[in-house]
């Protein structure tokens, strides 16, 4: 099986990460899986797991709107761990289709997401609008620009945008064809230097990276 096992470690899990890594190592040694991946793990957890079975990849949210994970990059680079960026379009905000909190299905997390709340929402809408200028100068959408920006952050980074549209899949794939200059990156940085307006999650729901 040419596959990876992603092993997020729940907060307060009674299972040591070394035991998880050891179990995956046994599966890899048996030829049942090929790679070992972690999700939402911090430097200490990554190192402890890696010492038992080399970690191939870490998966965490990363986009122009969400930059916290950048503090983990030195560890990933030191250990040679790849990175999979989920929600690379800011949970859909950068597609230009965002609606204010309360206008989504009752089960949609964006109703409580701080970036969709009054005050932050308007600032984020403005930022996405400003991204349209450098995108238009290159003849692309803001979404493709945002994905190209992610790819420009390092060869070890692979974004995984989600969509139900075949046209969107094709558009997103072509982000790999976009070459960003230093001037392009500087313009993007000026618009969103540290991420979107508002926290990643509502208070009390932030992953515990250790």
115 neighbors 195 (Cβ within 8 angstroms): no
Cα gap 209→42, rounded to integer Å = 4
Q: What percent of the chain has pLDDT over 70?
A: 91
Cα gap 38→60, rounded to integer Å = 9
| The token pair that represents 17 in the structure block | 């990460």
Nearby residues of 141 by Cβ (< 8 Å), 6 or more positions away: 96, 135, 171
Confidence of residue 10 (pLDDT cuts 50, 70, 90): very low
Where in the chain does DSSP place strands (E)? 4-6, 35-39, 57-61, 82-86, 157-160
What does pTM read for this prediction? Answer: 0.88
Cα gap 76→82, rounded to integer Å = 7
134 neighbors 188 (Cβ within 8 angstroms): yes
pLDDT in tens, 147-199: 999 999 999 999 999 888 898 888 889 999 999 999 999 999 999 999 999 98
**Measured distance between the N- and C-terminal CA atoms of the chain, rounded to whole angstroms:** 30
- Three-point CA angle 133, 134, 139, nearest 5°: 95
Cα gap 54→82, rounded to integer Å = 11
Specify the 3-state DSSP secondary structure of 61.
strand
Q: Is residue 3's pLDDT more than 70? A: no
Q: Which domains does the chain have, with CATH numbers?
A: 86-210 (3.20.20.100)
Mean pLDDT of the 36-52 span:
97
Q: Is residue 1's pLDDT more than 80? A: no
């Amino acid at each position: 099986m040419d596959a990876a096992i992603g092993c997020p470690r729940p907060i307060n899990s009674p299972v040591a990460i070394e035991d998880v890594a050891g179990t995956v190592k046994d599966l890899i040694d048996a030829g049942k899986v090929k790679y070992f991946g972690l999700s939402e793990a911090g430097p200490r957890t990554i190192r402890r797991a890696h010492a038992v079975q080399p970690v191939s990849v870490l998966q965490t949210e990363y986009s122009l709107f969400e930059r916290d994970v950048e503090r983990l990059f030195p560890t990933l680079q030191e250990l040679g761990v790849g990175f999979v960026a989920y929600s690379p379009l800011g949970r859909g905000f950068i597609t230009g289709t965002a609606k204010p909190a309360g206008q989504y299905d009752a089960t949609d997390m964006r109703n409580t997401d701080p970036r969709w709340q009054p005050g932050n929402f308007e600032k984020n809408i403005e930022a996405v609008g400003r991204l349209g200028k450098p995108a238009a100068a290159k003849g692309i959408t803001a979404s493709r620009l945002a994905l190209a920006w992610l790819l420009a952050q390092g060869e070890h980074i692979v974004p995984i945008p989600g969509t139900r549209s075949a046209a969107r899949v094709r558009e997103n794939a072509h982000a790999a064809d976009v070459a960003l200059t230093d001037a392009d990156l500087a313009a993007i940085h000026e618009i969103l230097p540290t991420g979107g307006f508002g926290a990643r999650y509502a208070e009390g729901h932030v992953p515990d990276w250790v």
